[in-house]
Amino acid sequence: MAYRNATHALAALAVAVGATAAAAETPVERGRYLVETIAGCGNCHTPRGPKGEFAAGKELAGGFVIEEKPFRAVATNITPDKETGIGNWTDAQIAKAIREGLRPDGSLIGPPMPIELYRKLSDSDLAAIVAYLRTVKPVANKVVEKSVYRIPLPPNYGPPVASVPDVPRTDKVKYGEYLAGPVGHCIECHTPLVRGHRDWSRIGQGGQEFEGPWGVSVARNITPHPTDGIGRWSDAEIKRAITQGISKNNAKLAPPMGFSFYAKMRDEDLDAVIAYLRTLKPLPRAN
């Protein structure tokens, strides 16, 4: 009994220390952590070489092309460069572009920017991301090519977002849902795309193909299905897949999963994501 009480005390202390450390973060530090880990903004906004390698010295400078059946999207320069990036945008304009998908000129930002999920970013995390983007190195990289959409885009993604509170980190599953959804948009890539729109009744079922310098990769089923999903994977195996790109059977997983970003995630955040994935409806392999 004494051992059990000591174990519970240590667990509670670990949670308390984690919460205190998180609270001590400045907005820029929080923004850096999100952008460079779970949000993985550079996974799309950093240009790549012919083998899919990130271009050195051009972090977040745009130009990477995401080619999918519904669209050919060209990532924009989101560094503070005033001529080719977002250096002349106000904080409010950057925040609106991220959470509502509207540029300062009123034009709509299309997929794969997961605006539908970003609308649920908390006010403090959104402000932190904007604060951090102000600090990154300005890179002069004019992205000339425009995105082309083969599906109709909506007139907007909904009414203006008033306010979104923080998700308590003490609620592991809810916080994991927040990280895997609005922040990291894991469920965006791992949910089937039907006629250009996500089928949210099949969250985590996978099946979408992604073409790139790496060839063609297929999003895995990340539901707890015992044979088609990750139901029989241990937490350690799931964590290794997320951070190292190695599956349960030691197969090498392919991009566009941002393994190099997720490798820098805190253990408590990885644990929260895994706890959330365990709660998804077990679904068979997508047809």
Is residue 5 pLDDT above 50, yes or no? no
Q: Region 201-206: what's the mean pLDDT?
A: 96
- Give the CATH number of domain 169-287: 1.10.760
List the chain domain ranges: 26-166, 169-287
- Taking each continuous run of H as one helix and of E as one strand, the counts in the chain are 11, 7
Q: How far apart are CA 256 and CA 108, in angstroms?
A: 24
Mean of pLDDT over the chain = 91
Q: How far apart are CA 285 and CA 221, in angstroms?
A: 6
Confidence of residue 10 (pLDDT cuts 50, 70, 90): very low
Cα distances (angstroms) measured from residue 284 to each of 80, 177, 189, 202, 209: 44, 21, 17, 10, 17
Is residue 22 pLDDT above 80, yes or no? no
Is residue 243 pLDDT above 70, yes or no? yes
Is residue 128 pLDDT above 90, yes or no? yes
pLDDT value at position 68? 85
Full-model pTM: 0.90
With contact defined as beta carbons under 8 Å apart, do 104 and 89 qualify? yes
Q: Region 32-45: what's the mean pLDDT?
A: 98
Confidence of residue 17 (pLDDT cuts 50, 70, 90): very low
pLDDT value at position 269? 98
With contact defined as beta carbons under 8 Å apart, do 111 and 105 qualify? no
* Amino acid, res. 250: N
Secondary element (H or E) of residue 84: none
At 263-282, the pLDDT tens digits run: 999 999 999 999 999 999 99
With contact defined as beta carbons under 8 Å apart, do 187 and 181 qualify? yes
Is residue 11 pLDDT above 50, yes or no? no
Asked, as a colleague might, if the bond just before 256 is cis with ω within 30 of 0, I would say yes
Confidence of residue 2 (pLDDT cuts 50, 70, 90): very low
% pLDDT > 70, the chain: 92
Tokens read off for 121 = 């970013």
pLDDT value at position 36? 98
Please provide residue 234's backbone torsions phi and psi, each rounded to the nearest 5 degrees: -80, 165
